[in-house]
Amino acid sequence: MRYFIELSYNGKDYHGWQIQPESVSVQEVLERTFSTYFRQEIKITGAGRTDTGVHAAQMFAHMDCDPIEELEDAVYRLNSFLPKDISVKEIFPVAKDAHARFDATQREYQYKVIQSKNPFLYESAFLVPQELDVDRMNEAAAILLTYKDFQCFSRSKTDVKTYHCDIVHAGWNWEDEILVFTIRADRFLRNMVRAIVGTLLEIGLGKMEVDQLHAIIQSKDRSEAGASVPAHGLYLTRVTYPESIKN
């Protein structure tokens, strides 16, 4: 049977989601733990590939295995075996052809910025102590919704067939002392969100004009955009699927 797994993880100690030689990944830890618990080889396919150090407040993955009798008990026991920085929230049956990556209709990321030194947030948000013009940053963020081709924000060496993404929301807001950038789209390119945030921060710092963003996007040149911000402030926060995937 095919099952979806809803999970979350702190990416600090992982070399991203995807299995890689000689590096510990979230996918590797999950497959090893699930295979041991279910006593069969389990392969797990995620909704996306978060990079080294990136977190997921909500991630989905799918697996095929023998029918699971007690789903809640399986979740409880799997969590007792998994390390403290990976948590399984739910496992549920889906249609036999449901796919965690290809059936996702929308993804949401958030990037967290703090403006003063905080010993409790330094590992989970990016410190930018200089004054930021958040209104200008939101003005620039609105420009993103008027474009589809985001090659300028993509990692240079990539094997994607298209750089087109349909961004439906992008904006900054304060959540107590944390400045949060939220962006939703049907898909994202590798390094895209971190490159966008880096560019918007340059606008907020007055190093770049708002209207320059048009020329950057139209250039399709990664070197024209701002530097990528550190991974530790980035979170995958939501993945959306059609109801039809459920069994």
Residue ranges of domains in the chain, CATH in brackets: 2-102 (3.30.70.580), 106-238 (3.30.70.660)
| HSE-CB for 111 with a 13 A CA cutoff | 25
Q: Tell me the pLDDT of the chain averaged across its residues.
A: 95
Choose among 222, 166, 174: nearest CA to 196: 222
Looking at the annotation, which residues are catalytic? 51
Cβ contact 34:78 at 8 Å: yes
Of all residues in the chain, the percent with pLDDT exceeding 90 is: 94
pLDDT of res. 158: 72
The mean pLDDT of 131-157, rounded to a whole number, is 95
The mean pLDDT of 55-64, rounded to a whole number, is 97
**Residues paired with residue 29 on neighbouring β-strands, in sequence order:** none
* Residue length of the chain: 247
pLDDT of res. 176: 93
- Does an H or E element contain 184, and which? strand 178-185
Report the sign of the C-alpha dihedral through residues 170, 197, 201, 237, in that order: positive
How far is CA 225 from its chain centroid? 20
Choose among 153, 144, 150: nearest CA to 223: 153
The mean pLDDT of 111-115, rounded to a whole number, is 98
Place of tokens 């809803």: 6
Rounded to the nearest 10°, the torsion over CA 100, 103, 105, 107 is 20
Write down the pTM of the prediction: 0.95
The mean pLDDT of 144-163, rounded to a whole number, is 89
pLDDT of res. 20: 87
Burial readout 65-90 (b: 16 or more C-beta within 10 A, e: otherwise): beebeeeeebbeebeeebeeebebee
The mean pLDDT of 67-96, rounded to a whole number, is 96
pLDDT of res. 156: 76
- Counting beta carbons within 10 angstroms of the beta carbon of residue 109, is it exposed (0 to 12), middle (13 to 18) or buried (19 or more)? buried
